Each structure stands twice: as C-alpha cells, then as structure tokens.
Homo-oligomer: A and B are copies of this chain.
Amino acid sequence: MNHISATVITIGDELLIGQVVDTNSAWIGQALNSIGIWVKRRIAVGDKWDDIWNTLEEEQRVADIIIITGGLGPTADDITKPLLNKYFNGELIIDEAALQNVQQIFARYNRPMIQSNYKQAEVPNTCKVIQNARGTAPGMHFEQKGKIFFSLPGVPYEMQGMMEAYILPELKKRFVATPIRHRTVTTCGLGESFLAEKIKDFETSLPTSIKLAYLPGANIVRLRLTEQLEINRDSVIDEYFNQLQELIPEIIITNEDISIPEAIAQLLLRKNKTIATAESCTGGYIAHLLTAIPGASRYFYGSIVSYDNSVKENVLNVKEETIKTYGAVSEETVIEMAKNVLEIINVDYAIAVSGILGPDGGSPDKPVGTVWIAVANKTITKTQKLSFRYNREKNMEATANNAFNLLRLLIKEVG
C-alpha cells in the first residue's frame, strides 16, 4: 500500500534533556490519522542548527509531509525561523496580517510592544503564512520537490488551533485518503499474555489490512484494532471488533477510545446519577480525573480528601473506634468513608479509597501497594482489596482504574 506519510519533528533541548514531555506529537498523530495520513516517524531534536538541518534533509527523503513544532518563540534560543528561511532560500519580511495579530494581542492585554514582539511578525518570503489566532508566533507553509512542510509553535494550544484551522483542511483538499480506522476496547482484570491466549484464534483470523495491538497500562490492557484500506475497498473492522468483544465481554470497561473516567462520566450521564468521592491515599486524584472532563458539574458534586486521619474522623465522621480497631487501610474504614460521603454530599454513588501507595508507609501486615476500595449507593456497598507492586505514581493510577471499574460493576448490577 502506498500511503501518504508524515513525519513530525519537534524542536527544543527541553525535549531531549527530559524537562518537558512531548504531548504535541501524540495530538498531531491522532489528527492526521483521522484524515487518513500515517505518521511514519516522530523525531525530537535540540535547538542546534546542524541537527535540525540534517533532520529536515533526511525526513524530506522518506515522508510526504513534514510537520515541525517549536523553536518559534521571541527569544534567542529559538532558531527554527532563521533556519527555515535559509533552508528554503528566503528573506525575512514583515507579514502585515501577522503584525496586526501581534498588535491586537498586546492591545487586548494593554501592554507595550518591544522589539522582539515586532520580530514575531517576520516570516520568510518563500512561505505561505499560517495565521495564529491563539498567540503571537505565525506558522509557515513551505513546498519543495513535491514535499510539504509546516512549521508551528510548540505551545500545544496554539499548535492545535492552527492544525484545525489551516493544516487539516489544506491536507484534506489535496489528498484523497481513506481514513485510518481504529477501534479500541479497554479491559481490566486479565494480564496481557492471558488475554493474548484467550484471543489467539481471533488474532490469527485477522486480514492483512487489520492489525491488533496490546497496550498494557496500570492494571488494565487496551486492545486496539487498526485498519488501513486501499481506496474503494469496504471496511470490515467493525465486524472483527464485534467478534473481539464477544470473546471477552466480562472484562471490558469501555469499547470506545476514551479514557476510563470519560467512560464512567458517560455512564453516569446516561443513568442521570451523581457521584462524590472520599479519598485518602489517592489525595484528590479520582476527583481530578472526573473534573478534568468538560461538563463534570452535571454528575460530579464533590469530594472529601481525608489524607490525615483527623479528617476521616472529623469531616467524614468515620468512627475513631473503626480506625483504632481495623486501621485506616481496612475494609471497615472504606465502607464507612463511602457510606458517609454519600450522605454528607448527598449523591447517588460514592467511591472511597484508602491505601499505602509508597514508597514509604508499609508494614509486614499491610505492605506498600495495599489498597482498599469501596463503592456504594444507598442500598449496596461493594469492596475490593488490591495489592499492587508498582511505584507510587502507577499504584495511584491503578487504584483509580480499579475504583472506576468497581463502580461500573455496581452500576451494572443496579441496572
């Protein structure tokens, strides 16, 4: 198959020294896939003239489209613009529309412009300018030897705006490609190799146009089918996706490519139910995951983060006796936490967690990774004990995943 392929080049020393995690490439990959363009490689290079130059030359040989992000700021460490100017044999000129944009932004914030702000409006005369509705640095569109180059700022919000307003429509106009289709299920409760064993025959039966991938996470595994067809061939991915789901119905959290919190949010919205959390070891993380989703106020009411035992007793009204007898990390404590927060915040469902996520705080009896979860509505309470062996961060993620899954099972049981 001869597909349109793209390379994403991100520029900045901060990506190489580990000071910043690159989220732009993932976003661009998803956006390009949706219009049928395959990202062949993602490359990060430092703010070094030769490294950027050589990468451009290499990628021009292997990809049809090259998208470059970063290095367009107003400061001296940003060298992408002069480099592209030279690479495409241009001269820097002021772009009037870009200048107006910069001036408007400064007027809006009531700030005086300095020299480096004017320079933001400079662009090579060999490019088509991509205006930036969300910031001061304009983007650039070059063409050379049949290859297309786009240069965008590294600030995710600005980059995304320009991808949506200019680059995706432009590429859609020029290339007729069948979209690359992805179908994903998220499973909880079965390890990667056991899952593979269970769907071995299914995997063997897949046509060459469909690939299966396993994406293990914190106590979850996502399974992804990807189909890329020749133009004018009919998609069969949904047929295989249904088969896959029928093989493992009991462990699927969601069959959409959404996060687990999003799946829970949709479930609550469909049932028109509200939720609150009582969190000890997760320290607000579960509440944060739910409220990171736009429109969370329709189902999420609040949370009591009882990191210190005094908060468990004084705000969540967990009996001093319970904590003394069974400990803060116990089935008895999380049951009281769940039931009480249900009353205090007055919601339909509650999640409560208490555990030891590490690195310290474990005991022979309750080693690091011991977590108790309770989910409850007014009549039913379900609990689960977990023993994780990850690090603190992944223990926290796994706790949230399991808490959401236990809640899903309770909601399913209630009907």
Encoded as 1 (CB less than 8 Å from any B CB) or 0, chain A from 7 to 42 comes to 000001111111111110111111101000011111
A189 interface residue (CB < 8 Å to B): no
Main secondary structure of the interface of A (DSSP, over half): mixed
Please state if B308 and A302 are interface contacts (CB–CB under 8 Å): yes
A414 interface residue (CB < 8 Å to B): no
A166 interface residue (CB < 8 Å to B): no
Which B residues are CB-close (under 8 A) to A360?
Answer: 294-295
* Contact A216:B19 (CB < 8 A) given known A41-B51, A288-B284: no
In the complex this chain forms, how many copies of it are found? 2
Please give me the residue from chain B that is nearest to A109 by CB atom. B191
Within 8 Å by CB of A196, from B41, B74, B215, B392, lies B74
Task: Choose the segment among A206-214, A238-246, A265-273, A370-378 that binds chain B (4+ C-beta atoms closer than 8 Å).
Answer: A206-214
A306 interface residue (CB < 8 Å to B): yes
A184 interface residue (CB < 8 Å to B): yes
A117 interface residue (CB < 8 Å to B): yes
Known: A13-B226, A41-B43. 16 other contacts (CB 8 A): A17-B33, A17-B182, A18-B25, A18-B30, A19-B222, A20-B215, A22-B25, A43-B44, A74-B193, A116-B193, A283-B290, A284-B288, A287-B307, A291-B307, A294-B359, A302-B307
A residues within 8 Å of B by Cβ?
12-23, 25-31, 33, 38-47, 51, 55, 58, 73-78, 111, 114, 116-117, 155-157, 180, 182, 184, 191-194, 196-197, 203, 211-216, 222, 224, 226, 257, 277, 279, 282-288, 290-292, 294-297, 300-308, 310-311, 314-315, 344-346, 358-361, 390-394, 396
